[in-house]
Structure 1
Amino acid sequence: MYPGNRSRVGRHHPLKRRVDLVETRLLLLLCVLVCACASVLGVVNGTAALRHEQSVVEQQRATRHVVKAEILRDAARSSPWTDQSGRSGLVPVPVRWTGTGGGDVTADAQVATGAKRGERVDIWLDRQGRITTAPSDANDVWAAGMVGGVGTATAALGAGALAGISVRIVCNRRRAAGWEAEWSRVEPEWTHRAGGR
């Protein structure tokens, strides 16, 4: 086989059927479409998730404020809860701060393990003066955008893989039907030759 004839020979190979060529072209087209769609959908959905999370953060910042509170009791040195890094999490202890009306307010807040009585910590309050969580930060916003984009792209790739499997199944059935039709045409001749010997 000459290098210059490689593509022609590949297309017109005697063992290559029309369904093989159709399958190859369909899978190639599907691969290109799925990659393009996964990229576009991932970017679009990731951007939408990013914008949504940014609006949530803006709303949180508008409805929450931070105050300094005094720890009223030593915090435990360890916590049964841990964060993603395996470090001990926060523990609840009573704290006191000055409310909007000027009076003292006492409630339990989550503080770092080992915090001492009398230390001052930042706590976040909502509009009603109840303890709440801090607003999400930039890392949370970017994480939401990444999860939205990657999740959508992964779903599109999964759908493309299922479509590719479907194309393969249909083409395999077509090949099997073709082989069976050819065998039914050739078998009598083979049986006659084998019986004649």
Structure 2
Amino acid sequence: MRAIVGLWRWRGNPLCRRSDRREAWLALGAMILVVVVAPLAGWLGASAAHGALMKNAEEQQRGRHQVWATAESVQNRAPLGSDPESGSQQPERRHVVAHWAGPDGSSHKSTVTTQERVQPGERFRIWTDGDGTATRRPMSPETASSQAALAGLAAGAGAVGALEAARRLAMRQLLQRRYALWDAEWSRIGPDWGRTGSNN
């Protein structure tokens, strides 16, 4: 941005070099691309992620079911990283050895995790897939939308990072070319530096 302002301020100055103008145009082009490409990349990323996540959520809603399970034994475990003295406690998770019947009537037994207060012999609800295996709660449309928005933000940030990396690489090339021209010019006039008007 400073290069653009500097170019506009020095546009009629004979000391404004061609490399200065290139640097300013490069900064202007990068700024325009960031303004245009980053939101576009974010929108495209969010749209693609939303479609895929919504499809996944619909498949999970169709393929997962709640069934009644009977607890055999319960082991309470505090969440990792919880502070006993903090006011905001995460819900305590319980590992329950339980058995339940699958959709086809087959018997299943496994250790499941729940936040419900369950005692041995009590029944509680769990989620299972089509085979009757215990699984997680299906993704909700709200969760899919939130994750899609995060994916869009990540795509936009990635586009900005890629454009900034490309701008810095181009600036490095311009600086290297400028230094090479300075070296060539100094090699040409350096031996005669300070000899103007001398008798030698």
- Do structure 1's residue 151 and structure 2's residue 150 form an aligned pair? no
1:116/1:8 Cα in 2 relative to 1: closer, same or farther (>3 Å)?
A: closer
Question: Of the candidates 156, 173, 176, which is equivalent to residue 176 of structure 2?
Answer: 173
Aligned pairs for 1:118-197 within 5 A: 118-193=121-196
Residue 113 of structure 1, CA deviation:
7.3
Distance in 2 (CA, whole Å) between partners of 1:144 and 1:113 is 26
Q: Indicate if the aligned counterparts of 2:30 and 2:164 stay in contact, CA closer than 8 A.
A: no
RMSD of aligned alpha carbons: 3.2
What code does the residue aligned with 1:41 have? A
Distance in 1 (CA, whole Å) between partners of 2:102 and 2:21 is 76
Distance in 2 (CA, whole Å) between partners of 1:8 and 1:120 is 76
- Give the total of aligned pairs: 190
Residue 103 of structure 1, CA deviation:
7.6
1:196/1:169 Cα in 2 relative to 1: closer, same or farther (>3 Å)?
A: farther
Question: Which residue in 2 is equivalent to 1:76?
Answer: 75
Partner-residue secondary structure (3-state), 1:92: strand
Partner-residue secondary structure (3-state), 1:38: helix
- Do structure 1's residue 28 and structure 2's residue 28 form an aligned pair? yes
Once the two structures are superposed, residues 98-133 of structure 1 have per-residue CA deviations (whole angstroms, 9 ceiling, x without a partner) of: 554668654332122753234432101112222121
**Greater mean deviation of Cα atoms: 27-36 or 115-124:** 115-124
1:188/1:101 Cα in 2 relative to 1: closer, same or farther (>3 Å)?
A: closer
Residue 146 of structure 1, CA deviation:
2.4
Distance in 2 (CA, whole Å) between partners of 1:36 and 1:118 is 61
- Do structure 1's residue 59 and structure 2's residue 62 form an aligned pair? no
Once the two structures are superposed, residues 54-107 of structure 1 have per-residue CA deviations (whole angstroms, 9 ceiling, x without a partner) of: 10111111111102223233x233246569x97365332122445546686543
Once the two structures are superposed, residues 137-158 of structure 1 have per-residue CA deviations (whole angstroms, 9 ceiling, x without a partner) of: 2343123312321222222112
Identity %: 27
TM-score, structure 2 normalization? 0.77
Higher-helix-fraction structure: 1
Mark the runs of 5 or more structure 2 residues left unpaired by the alignment: 1-5, 83-87
